Structure 1
């Protein structure tokens, strides 16, 4: 599906498809935004080559799971962005690569599936307004909105994390630990994505790109907005990762403490019964000449000694606060 928005030299906004390209070429003062969703690589390559896009940039855009990056070419700047196909408060997210080809008078965005940020710009008409200023504003706004979707789900995850903390205090379980470890794994992946995106905005802030000029105050302000949002996303994902790590450490500490208590009780029981077992073993030997065997009250004396040893050890362990 190819959708297009054209802003003519007179400021008129026109929506359409591939046919807008001819009108854009005829009007040197016009600006064009083409959005390619789910087109075949061959079709995308042919269209991008018609705009003199660099073959290396096209290859990068078609490469699966390419890390997000920004790269400048003679006629355009390529921004590879990791967008969202789906995302929820459980941090289950399916990313999709979105490529932006930003030229002086055009923006071409291509992605395999529906992109929420681009849909929003097209639905509310904000894309036309931004394109009227400059094509890079559309790309920056789409990245800003996409980061907003990430942020909303991350903030919802904060409530899930709070419930996990309460559950851990009430008594953790292996199932709870599996959830937390799964969250840690997802947060690592998200943090890596946000770090790539943060690198893109840092480059835009630090270096001059001819198609995203920093000398324009509005462009620099838009870049800073995107940078601040990705910086917040990165810091939030790092913070939540640290909290999950603390929860795992807390659960292990509680488990270790419970195990120590169990081992202490078993040690006390063993310490009490070892001398009693020794006495029982001694008098269980069937030797013929054992003087105590001839004593009439020897049985009761030995039992009394065993009871005294047991009670004495119990008193000693209680005094040491082992039990």
Structure 2
């Protein structure tokens, strides 16, 4: 069964707006802070030990990416938010992992929430909330736990590949969002393979007892992916169309490319969603056809034995005067008639292609 996340949303009922309460699973992992501080010529990669070590990167001339792993460390997030001037409502949204993908624009920063999707080692789909704060020369990212899809971005920053080190923080945000969106293609590709495998299985008639449950699980997976991806189109559209001082004109084209990818992913999701509905219809049709085959065989068998039963019933009556009752070869003649009837009906059914 797919892994279920436990949300503690009840803790937020009745709380003052801006109360920073983590709603995810309690993790025993240590706080993990990593930072990339770079210019076009140089790059420094740091594993930070405390939240105060992140404060020095706020007003540097270089571009900085600080990745915060461990949303259950609420006090540290409050400290970070106080130093970078992040509104308490934004901090509340960061630790509330049931957020819908969205974007909030403030005077000095932009807040973006989206879902990172991937399959775990048991082929269960995992949806993890990732939040971004885009400032003038920095990007803060917040994840529930270690493990993400940003390794390619890290390698590009370390090795100076592409444009990331020569562009500003808005391009860094683009590369991080693009890495997440690119991974959506991997997720829907696996979903597509699962659907095609089920189609092949059902067409071949190799139907297990749990096929309907597996189809329902696929349906839930596609709906989970859809909920994560469809609202993100609105987020990217706003970044593309709104004139925000943090997003430079030369970067808008790249965000437009993300939007095109999201449209493509959304179309595939709609196709797979229709295919899953078709799978259920196909499964029910196959079950019905199998039942019809069984009923046809039983009906043919009953039809064959009806005249034989009739003859046996006639000659099984206890009347004293029955024609052929005392005839020497009556028994053998009766068997001959019954066998001829049996073979004749089989021939007729085969000719009609009922057998």
Whether TM exceeds 0.5 here: the answer is yes
Per-residue CA distance 1:49-105 (angstroms, 9 max, x = gap):
222212111111111222222222343221111114x52698522221111112334
Q: 2:204 & 2:322 partners in 1: Cα distance?
A: 60
RMSD over aligned Cα atoms: 3.4
**CA contact 1:212–1:219 (8 Å) conserved in 2:** no
Per-residue CA distance 1:7-41 (angstroms, 9 max, x = gap):
68x9865555543533644x5x5554322122601
Aligned to 1:202: 237
Give the 3-state SS of the residue equivalent to 1:75 in structure 2.
Answer: coil
Task: Map 1:253-292; keep pairs closer than 5 Å.
Answer: 253-287=285-319, 289-292=320-323
If each structure's helix is expressed as a fraction of its own residues, which one has the higher value? 1
2:183 maps to which of 138, 142, 149: 149
For structure 2, the residue ranges without an aligned partner over 5 or more in a row are: 1-31
> 1:250 offset after TM fit, Å?
3.7
Give the 3-state SS of the residue equivalent to 2:129 in structure 1.
Answer: strand
Task: Map 1:128-207; keep pairs closer than 5 Å.
Answer: 130=164, 133-155=167-189, 158=192, 162=196, 164-174=198-208, 177=211, 179-205=214-240, 207=241
Q: Which moved more, 1:163-172 or 1:40-49?
A: 163-172
Give the 3-state SS of the residue equivalent to 1:145 in structure 2.
Answer: helix
> 1:208 offset after TM fit, Å?
1.0
Give the 3-state SS of the residue equivalent to 1:265 in structure 2.
Answer: helix
Per the normalisation by structure 1, the TM-score is 0.80
**CA contact 1:32–1:131 (8 Å) conserved in 2:** no
Give the 3-state SS of the residue equivalent to 1:79 in structure 2.
Answer: strand
Q: 1:23 & 1:254 partners in 2: Cα distance?
A: 63
Give the 3-state SS of the residue equivalent to 2:178 in structure 1.
Answer: helix
Q: Which moved more, 1:225-234 or 1:165-174?
A: 165-174
> 1:172 offset after TM fit, Å?
1.6
**CA contact 2:90–2:111 (8 Å) conserved in 1:** yes
Q: State the aligned residue count.
A: 315
Q: Which moved more, 1:69-78 or 1:152-161?
A: 152-161
Kindly indicate whether residue 95 of structure 2 is the aligned counterpart of residue 62 of structure 1: yes
> 1:269 offset after TM fit, Å?
0.9
Kindly indicate whether residue 106 of structure 2 is the aligned counterpart of residue 76 of structure 1: no
**CA contact 2:43–2:157 (8 Å) conserved in 1:** no
**CA contact 2:65–2:140 (8 Å) conserved in 1:** yes
> 1:159 offset after TM fit, Å?
5.2
CA separation of 1:42 and 1:168: change in aligned 2, threshold 3 A: same
Aligned to 1:121: 153
Per the normalisation by structure 2, the TM-score is 0.73
Task: Map 1:211-226; keep pairs closer than 5 Å.
Answer: 213=247, 216-226=248-258
> 1:273 offset after TM fit, Å?
0.7
Q: 2:347 & 2:152 partners in 1: Cα distance?
A: 75
**CA contact 2:102–2:232 (8 Å) conserved in 1:** yes
Aligned to 1:232: 264
Q: 2:347 & 2:151 partners in 1: Cα distance?
A: 76
Give the 3-state SS of the residue equivalent to 1:82 in structure 2.
Answer: strand
